Amino acid sequence: MIIVMKPGATEENLSRVKEKIERAGLSYHLSVGENRTIVGVIGDKKIIGSIEENMSVLDGVEKAVRITEKYKLVSREFHPEPTVIDVRGFKIGGEELAIMAGPCAVESMEQLREAAAEVKKGGAQFLRGGAFKPRTSPYDFQGLAEDGLKMLRSVGDEFDLRVVTEIVDLNDVELVSKYADVLQIGARNMQNFRLLQAVGHGTKPVLLKRGLSATISEWLNAAEYVMSAGNENVMLCERGIRTYETFTRNTLDLSAVAAVKELSHLPIIVDPSHGTGRWQMVQPMARAAVAAGADGLIIEVHPHPEVALSDGDQSLTPKNFRATMDEVRKIAAIMGRK
């Protein structure tokens, strides 16, 4: 349930609402906008139902509305204003598009430094790279683990880039948090609820990728796990879903951008690399994602894709990345973004 306070509601009015919620054994979440405050009530549905009518008649309350969706904290009803996440001074969800770019996997210091230099020139603010790589085949390259994390941190600092990397194991939360600025939860772990709760207990921003076959509701409920554990710094990532189509690696669902903007206040990033699996399609899908209203892009860039140990077919060369960024800037300007 959400309780919408009147524009002229006083602090005393709000205190009485909060007191009544706490007396019922429930908890609440405040969303303070320019004109009004919304109180989200969290807890047992039966108890919420029993106090709903009583809340509507309190002084300063405009209305009490039952939320039908299971997710609450990620809901636009709970939090009407878009969330902006500050990552070391860069605001994801603000006017400027977030550009996260780099190799799928960290292979060597030389490879990572070359990639970082190129994505920085192209306008990226974040260096992406995998130190732990969950792969479909156990015989594929699995990543350099902590050595890879150390390289990411060192190179990120050298080129003044924030670091985005995936976390795949519950036991590695503290380790990855030591090096990364943003913790990525991959598609295969979208419903690893213990991992979601673990990153929710921290404060590091979380980039939550959509599962391979997840509905938008399942995706938003996964974000709810992180937020309900206490971490409100969550952004979503559309990276394509599995369909009957075989020409592309996945089907990039850009309608999800519009859906998320309607249903949730969280920022949304689009991954055209995994979304298509073909480097030739990354540029047009990046343009389309920005036109659809995405808050940023995460793109795989490798200095030499032909010898990449992971996902070379979908990785842009530095030249192609710069060309993509040139076109994205034009679309961003039309959309009122930087």
DSSP 298: E
**Residue at which a domain ends, from 20, 36, 65:** 65
Q: Which of 118, 93, 131, 163 is nearest to 316 (CA)?
A: 118
User: Residue 122 sits in a domain of what CATH number?
Assistant: 3.20.20.70
DSSP 130: B
- Both 31 and 169 in a single domain? no
Name the residue with tokens 């015989």: 139
Instruction: Give the Å distances, CA to CA, from 136 to 194, 290, 306.
Output: 22, 30, 20
The angle subtended at Cα 320 by Cα 275 and Cα 108, nearest 5°, is 80
59 is a domain residue = yes
Other Cβ atoms within 10 Å of 28 Cβ, number? 17
- Both 228 and 166 in a single domain? yes
- Both 21 and 89 in a single domain? no
Mean pLDDT within 35-56: 87
pTM of the shown model: 0.90
Tell me the two tokens of residue 57.
């008649």
163 is a domain residue = yes
pLDDT of residue 68: 73
Burial of 293 (0-12, 13-18, 19+ CB in 10 A): middle
**Residue at which a domain ends, from 65, 95, 120:** 65
Query: How far is the C-alpha of 290 from the C-alpha of 270, rounded, in Å?
Result: 9
70 is a domain residue = no
157 is a domain residue = yes
- Both 173 and 253 in a single domain? yes
- Both 59 and 89 in a single domain? no
- Both 15 and 137 in a single domain? no
| Domain tally, the chain | 2
**pLDDT tens track for 252-264:** 999 999 999 999 9
pLDDT of residue 173: 96
**pLDDT tens track for 108-155:** 999 999 999 999 999 999 999 999 976 667 767 677 999 999 999 999
Decide if 115 contacts 148 (C-beta within 8 A).
no
- Both 176 and 52 in a single domain? no
**Residue at which a domain ends, from 11, 37, 65:** 65
Other Cβ atoms within 10 Å of 57 Cβ, number? 8
- In the chain, what percentage of residues exceed pLDDT 90? 82
- Both 123 and 54 in a single domain? no
What's the chain's average pLDDT? Answer: 94
262 is a domain residue = yes
- Both 210 and 301 in a single domain? yes
190 is a domain residue = yes
229 is a domain residue = yes
246 is a domain residue = yes
Decide if 301 contacts 316 (C-beta within 8 A).
yes
Tell me the two tokens of residue 173.
């939360």
In the three-class reduction of DSSP (H, G, I as helix; E, B as strand; rest coil), residue 123 is classed as: coil
- Both 29 and 106 in a single domain? no
User: pLDDT higher for 23 or 31?
Assistant: 23
The answer to whether residue 107 scores a pLDDT higher than 70 is yes
- Both 315 and 277 in a single domain? yes
Decide if 295 contacts 259 (C-beta within 8 A).
no
Boundaries of domain holding 6: 2-65
- Both 315 and 224 in a single domain? yes
User: Residue 26 sits in a domain of what CATH number?
Assistant: 3.30.70.1140
